[in-house]
Amino acid sequence: MNTSSTPLSSTPTPVAQGSQPTNDLCFSHFGFFVSDMQRMAAFYKDALRFTQTDTGRLGATEIVFLSRNPEDHHQIVLMSGRPDPLPFNVINQISLLVPDLQALRKYHDRLLAHGASDMQPVTHGNAISIYCRDPEGNRLELFMHTQWYCDQPLREPIDFSRSDAEIIAQSDAIARRAPRLQTRAERTREMAERMAADQRV
């Protein structure tokens, strides 16, 4: 297993001719209602380094647009008007990808420094993740890919006080115990074929 902290290669995994899914639809952005706009905007800008690209009102609703990609006007939209009290938060999680364990550690520390709560480092075998709550209780996940795929769901705690090599070795061992272990490259080829078939329907 790669124990360095360098990003995994972004080179696409080769698949058979005609087996590529059609990339005419992709996820773009996510919006949710907040109670304290100033506090929530500051959290996402300070802890996760989003840039505020625009702000304004539509009628009585205050809106803040946030992005980390100069080509995307917004990736997160904060909107005023969250009900109080809220009997049940329907947001299960907001998940953000990082390139490596070094970046995951950096944001682990930044999130805690800027008021995140309920921090839980875990491995899913196919990913190493940190889960936490933003100031209004929405669950965030930041994660990095591992080189493995294994049956999901799988979630086991890991100790972030350990070294990078120890964390990756622990995640590796957990993945190897799980059913249907594959390399990430093998899984990518398999899913490309399945998605191409689904999109031909």
Q: In the chain, which ranges are continuous DSSP H helix?
A: 37-47, 101-113, 164-177, 184-200
Q: What is the CATH number of the domain that holds 79?
A: 3.10.180.10
Q: Are residues 101 and 134 in the same domain?
A: yes
Which structural domain range is residue 47 located in? 27-83
pLDDT at 15 over 60: no
Higher pLDDT, 120 or 23: 120
Q: Are residues 46 and 111 in the same domain?
A: no
Q: Are residues 141 and 178 in the same domain?
A: yes
Q: Are residues 104 and 155 in the same domain?
A: yes
Question: Long-range contacts for 43-51 (Cβ within 8 Å, ≥24 apart)?
Answer: 43/114, 43/115, 43/116, 43/134, 43/135, 44/76, 44/78, 44/134, 46/110, 46/114, 47/107, 47/110, 47/111, 47/113, 47/114, 47/115, 47/116, 48/96, 48/107, 48/110, 48/111, 49/110, 50/75, 50/76
Domain count for the chain: 2
In a domain, 127, yes or no: yes
pLDDT at 13 over 70: no
| 129-152 tens-digit pLDDT | 999 999 999 999 999 999 999 999
Q: Are residues 65 and 149 in the same domain?
A: no
User: Exposed/middle/buried for 41, CB within 10 Å: 0-12, 13-18, 19+?
Assistant: buried
Q: Are residues 66 and 113 in the same domain?
A: no
| 99-124 tens-digit pLDDT | 999 999 999 999 999 999 999 999 99
| 33-85 tens-digit pLDDT | 999 999 999 999 999 999 999 999 999 999 999 999 999 999 999 999 999 88
Q: Are residues 76 and 137 in the same domain?
A: no
Q: Are residues 122 and 38 in the same domain?
A: no
Q: Are residues 108 and 199 in the same domain?
A: yes
CA 4 to chain centre: 21
Task: Give me the pLDDT at residue 60, please.
Answer: 96
Q: Are residues 180 and 126 in the same domain?
A: yes
pLDDT category of residue 14 using cuts at 50, 70 and 90:
low
Percentage of residues of the chain with pLDDT beyond 90: 80
Q: pTM for the complete prediction?
A: 0.85
pLDDT at 12 over 50: no
